[in-house]
Amino acid sequence: MAKEEIDLLPDKDAAKEFYAKYEPKEILGRGISSTVRRCIEKESGVEFAAKIIDISADADTTMATREEIRILKLKNNEKLSDLCGTPGYLAPEVLKTNMYQDTEGYNQAVDMWVGCPPFWHRKQIVMLRNIMEGNYSFTSPEWADVSDQAKDLITKLLVVNPAERYTVEQALVHPFFQVMMFDQDIVPIKKSLSPTSRRLSRISKMADDLKCRFNARKKFKLGILCIRAIVRLNRMALFPKPISIAASRIDPYRIRILRKIIDGCAFRVYGHWVKKGEGQNRAALFEMAAKTELKTLYMSNISP
């Protein structure tokens, strides 16, 4: 670990509980008032991203840090009233708190509010009105490939009244997060077989084995690798590798950009010799085959 990173670690005397539970590793990111580190829980060995905030009473402790600590310590019955956030992601109670005098404020329920494509509108005032009224639809092309279970979960998260909105615990037990795909696929087979059938017992055992082998962490890592591969391919298209002089000398026509330059130069030099008729193929200039007109001219000039 570098000396600079060691200097940013919390004081061991002031953070005894932290060091007793976690082993801090490298820095993942820095902010104005805090540092995010990769930490390993000593008891379980599980990795976490820990946000380390200095809460000492030094002069360097800013008001922003103190306000962030206060928000992190809020309980369910406490409310906030500040207007902050991206317009498309604001919950209705955040907007109402800053528009009406008799509102109670907002709490952690705003984190369960989903504010992405359903509420988008080119006019911001219309978008904010739709958020406050819970007026949305799944008609845009972005939602064409989204499953019904996902839409059902989003509908339960987009409830205007925070008391009726899904909590984190309710969202996690929603069918969208449950492994039910294989069960749904074999339902017709189960209905066609008798309860005492040996084939039914084998199919049920296979379904149970698949559930046991399902690893959500591995699936998530696979998704991350796929996204990284797509990003890398996209960057390769946008930022191609530099062309070496040696490769361009050996076979310049194999390189697409050089091939276009060569063709363009050739047409500028020999273009007045190439016919412009509708039946003329300009690509014939570069074909590695005998030209019909030249062959005819040659045959006609051969002495009998």
**Helix-helix angle 181-192:198-213, to 10 degrees:** 180
Q: Are residues 234 and 244 in the same domain?
A: no
245 domain residue, yes or no: yes
Is residue 170 located within the same domain as residue 233?
Answer: no
> Mean pLDDT over all residues of the chain?
74
Judgement on whether residues 56 and 8 belong to the same structural domain of the protein: yes
The pair of structure tokens assigned to 134 is 């819970």
* Tokens at 286, concatenated: 């570069």
Domain assignment present for residue 110? The answer is yes
| Residue 234 tokens, joined | 């996209």
Domain match, 91 and 124 both: yes
C-alpha to C-alpha distance for 171 and 169, rounded to whole angstroms: 5
Using the 3D structure, point to which of 176, 205, 221 is the last residue of a domain.
Answer: 176
Cα 244 to Cα 240: distance, rounded to the nearest angstrom: 12
Rounded-to-10 torsion of CA 97, 103, 106, 110 = -70
Residue 97 lies in a domain: yes
Domain presence at residue 287: no
pTM of the model: 0.37
pLDDT band at 285; cut points 50, 70, 90: low
Residue 71's pLDDT band, with cuts at 50, 70 and 90, is low
Q: Are 85 and 94 in contact (CB under 8 A)?
A: yes
> Do 148 and 165 have their domain in common?
yes
pLDDT band at 273 (very low <50, low <70, confident <90, very high): low
Which two tokens mark 262?
Answer: 């060569």
User: Same domain for 26 and 106?
Assistant: no
- Residue 281 covered by a domain: no
- Which range, of 78-92, 101-115, 183-197, 253-267, averages the lowest pLDDT? 183-197
What band does 218 get if pLDDT is binned at 50, 70 and 90? confident
pLDDT, tens digit, 9 for 90 and up, residues 36-52:
888 888 888 888 777 77
Same domain, 94 and 137: yes
CATH of the domain at 97: 1.10.510.10
pLDDT of 19: 81
Is 146 in the same domain as 200? no
Asked if residue 284 is part of any domain, the answer here is no
Asked whether 53 and 34 are in contact (CB, 8 A), the reply is: yes
Identify whether 207 is part of a domain: yes
Is residue 130's pLDDT more than 80? Answer: yes
Q: What is the mean pLDDT of residues 188-195?
A: 68
Q: Are residues 169 and 200 in the same domain?
A: no
Within the chain, strands assigned E span: 22-30, 34-41, 47-53
Give me the half-sphere count of Cα atoms (radius 13 Å) on the Cβ side of residue 214: 13
Mean pLDDT of 284-303: 62
On whether both 191 and 258 belong to a single domain, the answer is: no
51 annotated as belonging to a binding site for a ligand: yes
Task: Name the β-bridge partners of 51.
Answer: 36
Domain assignment present for residue 282? The answer is no
What range does the domain containing 258 cover?
A: 240-273
Q: Can you give the pLDDT at residue 173?
A: 84
Report the distance separating Cα 73 and Cα 11, nearest Å.
Answer: 21
- Cα separation of 137 and 130, whole Å? 10
* Count: domains in the chain: 4
Average pLDDT over residues 90-97: 79
